[in-house]
Amino acid sequence: MNKEKLRSLIDGASGKTPCDLILKNGRVLDVFSGEILSESVAVKDGMIVGLGPAYAGTVEVDLQGAYIVPGLIDAHIHIESTLATPKEFSKAATKHGITTVIMDPHEIGNVLGTEGLTYMLNASENLPVDFQMMLPSCVPATRHETSGAVLSSRDLAPFYDHARVSGLAEVMDLPSVRETSDDMMEKLLDAQNHRKTIDGHGSGLSFMDNNIYRTAGIRTDHECTTLEEASDRLKKGFYIHIREGSVAKNFDALIPLVNKNNHRRFTFCTDDIYVDDLYDHGSIDAMVRKAMENQLDPVDAVRMATLNPAECYGLSRKGAVAPGYEADLVILDNLEAFTIRSVYKNGNLIWDKETLVYDYPDSDVLEPENTIKLPDFTEEHLAIRTATGMLNLIEIQPNSLLTSHLTMNYEKNRNFRPDASEDLAKLFVMERHGRNGSFGKGIVKGFHMQKGAVATTIAHDSHNLVALGMNDEDLILAVKRIEEIGGGIVIAEDGKILAELKLEIAGLMSSAPLEAISADLKKLHAASRLIFQDIRFNPFLTLSFLTLPVIPELKITDQGLYHMSEGRFIGVDEILP
């Protein structure tokens, strides 16, 4: 802000000059006092400059008793996981009153490094949603997988000069923090010296580990899955992001902990959500609604979606309907039902009566080149044999990122064959960044897969290619098709491609319009019902997280099966003590 704008705002606040917009006869939800105020809201130059009846404006809107709440904030999201570009994501977000997101471009960072971060900053400019970036702290996430890039503290440091960088993203490499590695210490100190927030990723951490994280300056966590975990973090001063995405759903488990005394340390986030899921079902707005259904006070529920995340991330001009705050406003017909009538961004109407009214400018952002560089492979690469008569299995937990480790007896020196009657499918990960051609393979239980194969280049966090199938022929077909389209999600069955979604931007996002992405996702979901039985979870996202070795218990990377409790790779036929 410069002096001329500040003078203009003060003149508007004092009534010397007309305002741009007056919202009259509304009921303002005051996140500071907890009251519902019958006040007009005066807006000038994108900022709220006054509450009260004494203002005149160029445009005056009679709200006829509707509620005015601050624009909603998603406290932690990977835009890449929506499968859409920031522009297309914003079309879905505005419908649901989301005007700010705290984005972690960890996914594209793992594929393209600083080029990916720069792309996300450029692609999120001049949109009706503010995209605040957290800098990926762990690229690669661990030493147990092959990423397309490495982001050191030296790589990240220049980005702190960007106005939309809010801090250091989820720190998931506990050993580097505990062992005080030089590069991790630099990353933590750079964020602190710039007075920025540091996010955590506390899956599976002990009470002592949480002490280490807080001492290191880590301030938030979105990985709580139990009341015990959340309670411990709360007592240690963490902000707790209650997560409800397309795969990880922790709202029901955590909301009983929230009360009048502690709700100011809670926010809402999605983490990973498909764009069609967001558009059709909402996200932060749905969580506010659900919180009220769970008897949380409406004001407290709204605070958790507005003021709390704004304060957590140092966004001092966001999160409230008050003078000096950005005019990011959501107009509600009904507070308890949280029915959205219209949405304003910086005082401009962007969503009104079920219609997007924002005029998007032309974009000249250059998209990254093809990133799919697969090694040669044959059916022999897919073979799984046991020399011990024992096989280690990954068992998924629906709507959770956690997995279990199972074992089964199997005939020695015989190739494993997927078995639908036993709910056993073949699983493999192929390095796709053109670095070493490494190849991990395993067996998974819990997908209820009957036939066919699925392959995708969304494989957290290094985003190699992961594939799941009931026969080698369809597995190979799906992988070859992924290579042809430059990344994405493919379903194959009986020698045919049933459905696909092209994700040509780093193998993670589509450049297509929101409507086209949604249509392809619907085809994928329809095809999935042909090859999976009794699906009560998102099979694609569930598959994509089987490759994340920082979350318990047994996962798979391009280097093999990783057992988190053991802290090492295990053989597919290894007998553990």
Q: DSSP letter string over 498-525?
A: EEEEE-TBTTTBB-S-HHHHHHHHHHHH
For residue 221, report the phi and psi dihedrals to the nearest 5 degrees.
-155, 135
81/272 Cα distance (integer angstroms): 5
Strands 439-445 and 390-396: parallel
**CA-to-CA dists, residue 349 to 207, 270, 329, 355, angstroms:** 47, 25, 9, 11
Q: Give 249's DSSP letter.
A: B
Can you tell me which residue has the tokens 């030089």? 182
374/434 Cα distance (integer angstroms): 6
199/475 Cα distance (integer angstroms): 37
As a residue count, the chain comes to 577
102, 73 in Cβ contact below 8 A?
Answer: yes
**CA-to-CA dists, residue 251 to 48, 134, 303, 412, angstroms:** 33, 23, 16, 45
Q: Give 210's DSSP letter.
A: H
Structure confidence at residue 212 (pLDDT): 97
Give 269's contacts (C-beta < 8 A, 6+ positions apart). Answer: 74, 75, 76, 77, 102, 222, 241, 242, 243, 284
Structure confidence at residue 54 (pLDDT): 84
567/478 Cα distance (integer angstroms): 32
User: How confident is the prediction along the chain (577 residues), in pLDDT tens digits per residue?
Assistant: 899 999 999 999 999 999 999 999 999 999 999 999 999 999 999 999 999 988 999 999 999 999 999 999 999 999 999 999 999 999 999 999 999 999 999 999 999 999 999 999 999 999 999 999 999 999 998 889 999 999 999 999 999 999 999 999 999 989 999 999 999 999 999 999 999 999 999 988 898 999 999 999 999 999 999 999 999 999 999 999 999 999 889 999 999 999 999 999 999 999 999 999 999 999 999 999 999 999 999 999 999 999 999 999 999 999 999 999 999 999 999 999 999 999 999 999 999 999 999 999 888 788 898 999 999 988 889 999 999 999 999 999 988 889 999 999 999 989 999 999 999 999 999 999 999 999 999 999 999 999 999 999 999 999 999 999 999 999 999 999 999 999 999 999 999 999 999 999 999 999 999 999 999 999 999 999 999 997 788 899 999 999 999 889 999 999 999 999 999 999 999 999 8
Contacts for 409-415: CB closer than 8 Å, 24+ residues apart: 410/386, 410/573, 411/386, 412/386, 412/387, 412/388, 413/385, 413/386, 413/387, 414/385, 414/386, 415/383, 415/384, 415/385
Instruction: Name the residue type at position 232.
Output: D
Structure confidence at residue 363 (pLDDT): 81
CA-nearest of 535, 124, 6, 69 to 321 is 69
Q: Vertex 314, ends 238 and 73: CA angle to 5°? A: 80
| Helix H or strand E encompassing 291 | helix 284-293
Structure confidence at residue 577 (pLDDT): 86
CB atoms within 10 A of CB 56: 11
Q: What stretches of 339-385 show up as alpha helix (H) in DSSP? A: 379-382
Q: Give 361's DSSP letter.
A: P
Radius of gyration of the chain measured on its C-alpha atoms: 24
Structure confidence at residue 247 (pLDDT): 84
207/189 Cα distance (integer angstroms): 23
Strands 57-62 and 130-135: unpaired
If DSSP codes are grouped into helix, strand and coil, which group holds residue 540? helix
CA-nearest of 125, 164, 79 to 362 is 125
160/250 Cα distance (integer angstroms): 32
Whole-model pTM: value is: 0.93
